[in-house]
Each structure stands twice: as structure tokens, then as C-alpha cells.
Amino acid sequence: MRTAYTLLLLALVTAPLARGDPLQAEFLLLPSAQAAGTFDREAPVTQVQDELLQADMLLTLQKGRFKFFAEYLVSDHESDLERLQLGWQLTNDTIIWVGRYHQPSSVWNHDHHHGQYLQTSVTRPDIDEWEDLGGILPQHFTGMLIESGHPAFGSWRLRTAIAGGIAPQLQADGLEPFDLLHPNFDRHTMGYQARASLHPSDFSESGFGLLVADDQLPWAGEPQTPAQVGLDHVDLRLIGAFGTYAGEKWNLQATLYHADARLHYTTSLVNDDFDVWYLQAERRLPHKLTAFGRWEDSFGTGDSQYLKLFTEFARIRYTAGLRWDFVSRQALTLQFENTHTLNGSFDAVRLQWSAAFF
């Protein structure tokens, strides 16, 4: 494992550059500031932070067929190298990436990543939340990602993404991905993901598709709850379907996940499954306003042994808000939420400023 990791870093830093082609570089800064508060609270813990300042920085380099991409997130409570990818343009339609990537079976995170300005709502669906914010699905892997697009059924476009890499570990406080800057080589396993979707044209955001994932998540923490005692690893399998409609005035996005979890304890095996889905609708209004609402719901989560490892997961959540793009590449967003976790419920209100600077 140490040898593979060293070779990966050497490839990212010292990859040869094609001669004769100009170096192209782009940098994008996505800062945001948020204030939040809860009320009518029955849940003992909510993970809602009263204040949050963060800046998401993205750098892309390209020379000939070689591509380099990095994303670094800094906030008032963390800093992390979110993505570091070296790419090779195999053909006009296919790119091979090695490094740390966002797993392709999360459609929301594939579209929005960490930049708050890139998404209309302040929060993302809880099923697609990041690991360090209580997410129940692994989102960051270190390995290989292959993205491709090909013509299909006349003018339609088939887009695919296939990936495999080092999976996050299960800790007492949630999932912990492999850290490129501070690598820990103890007890790591692999995960594999894939997504395929059809779109009416090359550049259309509208489309529909399927996703699958098969991830092995090793336990690497000190047990703090009964559900964690004696846990060795979890085999987590996902299948899902999704669809997006991007119109002139309306945007609709929906995703359904079915999760099958096998929890391996030292003396027993527990089979578990549950379903989670969400639907978000957005309506563009005059004066650069956008109204939005999201409904998140689930089945079989109340008795899920796997979700007992993540008791703050929002099994039901209703979200509504209004975004105002008051100047070019800057927005203010007001959002209200009603959330039901496995341990209670609460309401929340959030106010966010977000921007994109080139």
C-alpha cells in the first residue's frame, strides 16, 4: 500500500507534459458565509452550526492530453484537500483520472461538489451529505475514475462514470475518507461505483439514469454506542435511479437509493436494507429570484441497524427557501427546514451569502 501511494503522488506531481501545446489554467474561488438557528427542537443533537465561513478553491491545468484538477476547502472549523486528480484524455469522449475523487454514484455531489454558490439550496440532501458532516454514504475515494460520453439513439448522449478506490473507514463519529495529506495505511478496503445516464443532447443538463455502488467499510474506531460494539466491517451496496429536468423556468431533480447493508460483527452477521429518496423543485421568478423546495423521505430507516451508527441522519426533511442573485455571481439565500432524525425532530432557519470569483 505504501508503494502504491508513493507512486500515485509521484504521478500527480511529476507527470510528463505534452510538448508544443500551451498550458491552460483556470482558478475558481467559491466563498460563502452562513448563519443558522434551530427552534421547536426535540432532537438532542442537530449538527446545525450557528455560523459557518468557508472558501472552496478549485484549480484546473491542462497541457495537451494531460489534465490536473485540485479542490481545497477551508472553513472556520476545518481545512481539507477534497479532490486531487491527474487526468489523461484518452479520446475526445473519455478521460481517465487517478487520485482523490468524488464517487460518481452521488448525482448531487457530482453536479455541485463543495461550492455553495453552485447549488440553489443552502443544504444538500442528507443522503448525499459529506462524511465529516454526518453523511451515511462514502463520498470521497482515492483510486481511479473513468468518465466518458458517447452518442446514443440518434441525438441522445450516453454519459458514464466508473470508479474504484480506497474506501472510507467507519469511526465512532462517522465515516472518515483516506487523507492524502495525512495518510493512514491501517486497515483500508476498496469500493466500486458506476453511473450511466441518457441526455437529449451533448450539453443538456436534463436526463435520467441508473447508479450502483459496492463499498466495503472497515471499522477502525473505539466503540461508543451499542451498535458499534463488536463491529468488524460493513458491506454496503447501493442501487438507484435519478432524473433531472432543466427548463427555462423550472428545474426538477429526483433520486432514489436502495441500500443493502451487511454488518459483520465478531459473533454475528446482520442484514439490513432501507430506501431513501428526494425531490427538489426550483422555479425562477422575476427580479433574479429563485424559489425552491425539497422533500426527503425514507422507508425502513427507523429499524435500520446500519443507520444506528448515524443517529442524526434526517430520515424525513422538508425544505423551502428563496434565493436572490442580487449581483453578478453573488447570491443571498433564505431557507427553512423541518427535520426528523432517528432521535427526534427540529426546525431550522438559515441565511447564506455565496459567490463565485474567477
Question: Please, what are the domains in the chain?
Answer: 32-53+122-141+148-355 (2.40.160)
CA distance 193 to 204: 23
Residues in CB range of 286: below 8 A, 6 or more apart: none
Q: State residue 12's pLDDT score.
A: 47
Q: State residue 263's pLDDT score.
A: 96
Q: What angle do CA 53, 56, 57 make, to 5 degrees?
A: 140
What pTM did the predictor assign?
A: 0.90
Please report which helix (H) or strand (E) contains residue 6, including its range.
helix 2-14
Extract the runs of DSSP E, i.e. beta strands, from 172-206: 174-176, 190-199
pLDDT per residue of the chain (358 residues) written in tens, 0 to 9: 444 444 444 444 444 444 567 899 999 999 999 999 999 888 888 878 777 899 999 999 999 999 999 999 999 888 899 999 999 999 999 999 999 999 999 999 988 888 899 999 999 999 999 998 889 999 999 999 999 999 998 889 999 999 999 999 999 889 999 988 888 778 889 999 999 999 998 888 999 999 999 999 999 888 888 889 999 999 999 999 999 999 999 999 999 999 999 999 999 999 999 999 999 999 999 999 999 999 999 999 988 999 999 988 999 999 999 999 999 999 999 999 999 998 899 999 999 999 999 8
Residues in CB range of 275: below 8 A, 6 or more apart: 256, 257, 258, 259, 298, 299, 300
CA distances from 317 to 253, 294, 313, 340 (A): 16, 8, 10, 6
Please report which helix (H) or strand (E) contains residue 243, including its range.
strand 231-246
Residues in CB range of 269: below 8 A, 6 or more apart: 262, 263
